[in-house]
Amino acid sequence: MPSPPTPTVDEAIALGLTSDEHALISEKLGRAPNQVELAVFSLLWSEHCAYKHSKKLLRTLPTEGPQVIMGPGENAGAVDVGGGLACVFKVESHNHPSAVEPFQGAATGVGGILRDIFALGARPIAVLDSLRFGDPERSERSRYLLDGAVRGIGHYGNSIGVPTVGGEVYFEEPYEHNCLVNAMAIGLGERDKLVRSAAAGVGNVVVLYGASTGRDGIGGASVLASAELGEADEDKRPTVQVGDPFEESKLLECSLELLERGLIVALQDLGAAGLSSSASEMASKGAVGIDLDVARVPLREADMEPFEIMVSESQERMLCVVEPSNVPDVLAVCERWEVHGTAIGEVTGSGRLRVLHGERVVGDMPVAALVDDCPLYDLAPARPEKPLYAPAPATLAADATAQEALLALLASPNVASRRPLFEQYDAIVQSRTVRRPEECDAAVLLLPDGGAIAASIDGNGRRVAADPYRGTIGAVLECASNLACAGAEPLGTTNCLNFGNPEKPHIAWQLVEAVRGLGDACRALDAPIVGGNVSLYNEGASGPIYPTPVVGMVGRLPDASRAGRTGFVQEGDAVAIVGRREPSLAASELSRLRGEPLPDRLDDVDVADVRATQEAIRDAVRDGLLSSVHDVAEGGLAVALAECCLAGGIGARAELPQAGEPPVAPSVALFGENPGAFVVSGHPTALAQLAERVHLDIVGEVGGESLHVICGAAGIDSSLAELHAAHDSLRRFFP
């Protein structure tokens, strides 16, 4: 078979490389790259795999803490949750594939993050998702993407038997052409049995197991996530991966048995860039080389070229390193679980990734050049001189009454109940779910010792667009507040940084400031970053998305039976506001409904004071002092009160102080947003104990079948039925 012609520089540019990068590759190889080598380099040096515009920033984040077992660099992070157990967790994006084909894009996003969890030797126990779409009221495309993504998440999670226990979804114009689909997975494993991905042992065998390899996914996540999407992207539909959750279920059990029996040295899932990235990264971490014979790879399509086999992103595949004496046992386990298991290569001492097709060498590349020597670029951040984002169309008059504003907020897609989404997900499979979605601000999962893991995922692109630094701090604080409502102490944080094109100065500024805020907030909360993902180039003809750092946080509480609840519980309980409130309508949901432009900056937040309030709430939940607890977030205090009524099926009466000196306007007191405040209920004696630690105002009482609120000259008097009808507005998009 004659060798294919050497690719040109133009072909390298078509694959996403620059002419300078092609020259650098040629320098490292001592010659121009051939077809296989160019394909591998184009993916390993893509933004998605190399983080070449963000890696320098990520190095500034805090990554160490007393509970951290594994930090950034592995398939997922891991923290100690006691009893010899580790909680393994990570969040990743599948934005660009989901914008092209939402069902498979979202489904394979879930499948990919689950493989990251069991690649460490942990059993996946939960999924949370973070979604962003355009305006479903006005956009048929956004409704299509929403429906497809939700069905894809439900299909994969329900089929594989991993509960979807929480998440968030927002609808804003800047996501119209670039939806965001971020998935977070959580697993549980024995601390001492976790496995790393570094290849080791010259002469050891490389085994590929799982689904067969096809052309689906070629140029998928790694290429799609490293370029802007345009109007012609219907042509990219075939590059989106196709998932099979039933195949992954077998793969999961096979992997855990191999690890439990100690049959493998290292394990890595095949995600973006397929064999190219998994083999290269394993070799790099182990400071070894790997030879792969692609002629041995089980194929779905017999005529695949070597470069196609190397870059295929077919799903449900794993790569492991095995001592030669254990290969028969490994293949026997694969056969028992009905997954393909094939020895396709070996570990070498060459420090090179060699790709063979039978006896013929079709690619020979230094591992260091592939993984470690990708050029990292310095950003050129510059604060934009004019607004980047137009205001949303006004849907609420500025002179609307407080009651009209509350009902409009509850009906807003950004505040409305997510129950129509969660009803498509199995939230209780595996029988660990202590609190179902919307029963608590955080997901709560039972541990064997009677304690629990709490998890939350959060972000607010509109506030970050207004002020990337303070907006990102707010996202971290919101996550920690959700954990506090469950009674959990933060142990570690993961993140997914969703931004536009970092080569543009204003996007670079957003990214730099957001990472600075992320680092400062996590240091202040002692919640180190243990892993995450970066998704850039999220923009198209209509401009960039809102800068959207999504934050996932995991914590632990000692007694699952005392996990907090959102809903009011008991007639006659006192209602109180906890924390020093500094409400503001800047970048709030009410300001969005009014069609107001984004401000130039947000108010400063006293992070130390918010942390102290969170700790007081957490301890009060653990001590059983509170009947209910809910943090004040989108829509402000009035919406928080309404959500407590709806979650508990019981009304309340409250007279709210107009916070601030001088007092703020009633609309600000009712609907203003800023982190650090909570609505709680309980016996007055119990609340008095909490008041010894933190600022607390008793403002009312639980009871009745309506929400009655007075704030200065403003008043709200809405029945539970009226509140529920507004809050259930998303249901019309899920017939």
**DSSP letter assigned to residue 440:** B
**With the CA atoms of 33, 39, 41 and 45 taken in that order, what torsion angle do they form, in degrees rounded to the nearest 10?**
140
- 662 preceded by a cis bond (ω within 30 of 0): yes
CA distances from 703 to 181, 440, 680, 712 (A): 40, 20, 14, 22
Which residue bears the tokens 């355009």? Answer: 134
676-686 burial by CB neighbour count: b if 16+ within 10 A, else e? Answer: bbbbbbbeeeb
Instruction: List Cβ neighbours of 260 (8 Å cut-off, separation of 6 or more).
Output: 193
Residues in the chain: 735
C-alpha–C-alpha distance, residues 92 and 98, integer Å: 13
* Helix residue spans in 467-504 (DSSP H): 468-486
C-alpha–C-alpha distance, residues 95 and 224, integer Å: 9
C-alpha–C-alpha distance, residues 571 and 701, integer Å: 8
Is residue 630 flagged as an active site residue?
Answer: no
Q: Taken in order 612, 618, 619, 624, is the CA torsion positive or negative?
A: positive
Q: How many CB atoms lie within 10 A of CB 343?
A: 17
CA distances from 147 to 26, 142, 694 (A): 46, 8, 43
Among 400, 422, 435, CA closest to 728: 422
Contact assessment for residue 588 and residue 674, using Cβ atoms and an 8 Å cutoff: no
Active-site pick, 48, 155, 506, 630: 48
Which residue bears the tokens 């006293």? Answer: 606
- Which residues pair with residue 347 across a beta bridge? 290
CA distances from 131 to 187, 320, 549 (A): 21, 33, 12
C-alpha–C-alpha distance, residues 679 and 628, integer Å: 8
Helix (H) or strand (E) holding 355: strand 352-357
CA distances from 75 to 221, 247, 495, 501, 704 (A): 16, 20, 14, 25, 51
- Which residues pair with residue 89 across a beta bridge? 77, 186
C-alpha–C-alpha distance, residues 502 and 380, integer Å: 9
Q: Which amino acid is at 533?
A: N
Phi, psi of 281, deg, nearest 5:
-65, -40
Tell me the CB-side half-sphere exposure of residue 671, using CA atoms within 13 A: 29
Is residue 48 flagged as an active site residue?
Answer: yes
Tell me the CB-side half-sphere exposure of residue 557, using CA atoms within 13 A: 32
Strand 289-293 and strand 678-682: pairing?
Answer: unpaired
C-alpha–C-alpha distance, residues 485 and 104, integer Å: 34
CA distances from 40 to 50, 142, 724 (A): 12, 34, 54
Active-site pick, 22, 53, 94, 177: 94
CA distances from 276 to 43, 273, 446 (A): 8, 6, 38
User: What residues act catalytically?
Assistant: 48, 94
